[in-house]
Structures are given as C-alpha cells and as structure tokens.
Amino acid sequence: MTEPLNILITDDEAPARNRLRDLLADIDGINIIEEAKNGKEALQLAEKLQADVVLLDIRMPEMDGIETAQHLQKLPRPPAIIFTTAYDNYAIQAFEMNAVDYLLKPIRFERLQNALLKARVLLPRQLAALNTLSPRRTHLSITERSRILLVPITDIIYLRAELKYVTVRTAEREYLIEESLTHLEQEFGNIFIRLHRNCLVAHAYITGYEKRSLEEHGEKQWVALLKHVPETIAVSRRQQHLIRMT
C-alpha cells in the first residue's frame, strides 16, 4: 500500500488555507499534517513534521514564498513544492519556463490533483531561476547539525570569506555558509560595503574609522569600528577612498 503524502499548507490568509483543506479532503492518499501562516513557520513545520509536499503561497509578509522555497531546499529531506499564486501572466510564464509547478488562484480541484501527482523536489536550475523572481532574501539559511537556522540579514554585522566558507557575524555569534561573497555582494550591495577583498560590512554597524598600528609591520592601517563586537575590519588600500566619502 502506498504511503499517504504528508501535505503542509502555507498561506497567510485563512480563507485560502480553508479552500485548500476542502479540496484536499476529496483527494485519496493525502494527509494534511499542519497549516502555516508564513514562511518561517513553514520551514519549522516542514523540518519537524517531515512534509512530503508544501503548498506554498507566494505573496506573504516577512518572507515570501519564493525565498521560503529556497530555504526549504536546504533541509536534509527537502519537500516537493507547489506554489499557489495570484501573480500576473509575466510571472506565470517564468514559472512555466523553469518547470516550477504552480496553482493559479482561485485553485481548481483537477489542477491541484494533477500537481500532486507530479510533485517533486526542485532541481538546481529551477532554484537558480527562483533567484530572478526574488531579488533579495530577508534571511540567510544556515545548515547546522542537520538543522536549518534562519539569520535575518538585518542582524548580520559582516560577511567574511575564509577558504571555501563565508563567516556570517552577528552580535551573538558566528555562522558558516557555503556561498560566494561576490554573489552576496551582488544581492545585498545596498546593505553591505566591501572594505576588503574578503569582507563585506553592513553600513548600519559601522561606527567610524580609525588608523591603527599593525604589530607585525609597525605601520598604520585604517580599520572600521563596529557596533556590538570588539573586532575591527581592516580597510584595504584600494577601498580607502570610501573613508573619505563618509
């Protein structure tokens, strides 16, 4: 006997969640494990309850469905994702071109049934295509001990490349992610400034600049002073023009 599909419904509007629940009640082999009202909730519940499929609204406050999908794919056992959307035709064409399944609201029974029949995990090229639909994330997802932690972009003081990892520094602690510093700069260039070839620092956490002696060379170098953390970030010669602009 085939195991039932564990479904997680995610939508910030109760009527939309109720509509999906009613439609799913008429489909065999379905087990609704929970409902989520936003992307953060969806990530927590999908991980905890081992969702097979997430029905995911796109337009939600705090974290939209596209960003949520990107974080969900980092779970050890990523669920299949079916978007529910009232997007315009341009966005629908983008989904179709990249074979990301979607349900256009108001959702029809037959369309939902067919989508569940072909539910599958997103492919890498589909994930890449989602980046073009969601220009900037609100959180970074950190994989730690087989769990996904969400770190708000607004909490990040700096991002520093070290070997194949990037250190994410907040006031509380450090995290490691496997992302390109260059790509992070492209995505969050209005929030972070590159002070060194290996380091991006958040504008909001820079309190000033100071010239300090470097013990190993006996020469002075500009460093950025930061809120909430004792360390400073060296400013490369190439980037020292930024100090004169402050």
Q: Which residues of 33-61 are buried (b: 16+ CB within 10 A; e: fewer)?
A: bbbbbbbbbbbebbbeeebbbbbbbbebe
Which residue is associated with the tokens 């990530």?
A: 43
CB 67 within 8 A of CB 134: yes
Residue 234: which of 208, 196, 192, 197 has the closest Cα?
196
Q: Which secondary structure element, helix H or strand E, spans residue 234, and what is its range?
A: strand 233-234
pLDDT in tens, the chain (246 residues): 468 899 999 999 999 999 999 999 999 999 999 999 999 999 999 999 999 999 999 889 889 898 999 899 889 889 999 999 887 775 776 676 665 788 888 999 999 999 998 887 777 777 777 777 766 899 999 988 878 999 999 999 999 999 889 999 999 999 999 999 999 999 999 999 999 999 999 999 999 999 887 656 667 889 999 999 999 999 988 888 777 665
Three-class SS state of 97? helix
- Options 2.40.50.140, 3.30.300.30, 3.30.1540.10, 3.40.50.2300; which CATH number does 5-133 get? 3.40.50.2300
Q: What is the pLDDT of residue 240?
A: 81
Which residue is associated with the tokens 């519940």?
A: 45
Q: What is the pLDDT of residue 71?
A: 92
Q: Which two tokens stand for residue 160?
A: 């520093």
Q: What is the pLDDT of residue 7?
A: 96
Domain boundaries 140-244, CATH class: mainly beta
Q: What is the pLDDT of residue 142?
A: 94
CA distance 131 to 187: 10
- Asked if residue 230 has a cis previous peptide bond (ω within 30° of 0), the answer is no
CA distance 192 to 11: 32
Backbone angles phi, psi at 110, to 5 degrees: -60, -40
Residue 166: which of 146, 139, 142, 188 has the closest Cα?
142
Residue-range domain boundaries for the chain: 5-133, 140-244
Q: What is the pLDDT of residue 241?
A: 78
Q: What is the pLDDT of residue 185?
A: 95
CA distance 196 to 6: 47
Q: What is the pLDDT of residue 87?
A: 77
Cα distances from 41 to residues 10, 29, 56, 94, 119, in angstroms, run 8, 24, 12, 26, 21
Q: What is the pLDDT of residue 153?
A: 97
Task: Please tell me the pTM assigned to this model.
Answer: 0.83
